[in-house]
Amino acid sequence: MPEGMATPSHRNRLLDRLFSKRGAVLLARNTIVSTGVFVFGLAMLWLLVEKAGMPKLPAAALSFIAANTLHYVFGQAWIYRGTQRKLAAGYAYFLVNALVGLGVTLALFAAFLALGMHYIPARVVTSVFAGLVLFVLNAVLNFRSL
């Protein structure tokens, strides 16, 4: 196997960590925080589109970034408490991960809009997929909690 490639045993260890009791606790905490910041982001999206007249895609991007910054604050303090990652470095990694999540979010959001879905349900459905991607990236790579 080429160097740097994950071996089957490495993949199994990652799956074992993701599906462990600790993984479940972290996912539960992340879900609580994610739900709260998602409601915040959704309200911000609605305000930007309906009250400020901003186009939907830029409004979705802006609300996503604001909600993810708030999520990081809770992540550092509660979800992944005890992490050895320094605050500034963790935020930088969190933002890189958020860009991946933003890409997933905007791509799915645009696809759902193109299919004729209203922007609020489109954003809700999109959040499930993007949220799981972000959880795994942050739990494994950023906060190194799993």
The three-class DSSP label of residue 136 is helix
The tens digit of pLDDT for each residue in 9-56 reads: 666 788 888 899 999 999 999 999 999 998 999 999 999 999 999 999
In the chain, domain spans: 33-142
0.85 exceeded by the pTM? no
Q: What angle do CA 69, 91, 34 make, to 5 degrees?
A: 40
Which among 125, 142, 25 has a CA at the least distance from the CA of 72? 142
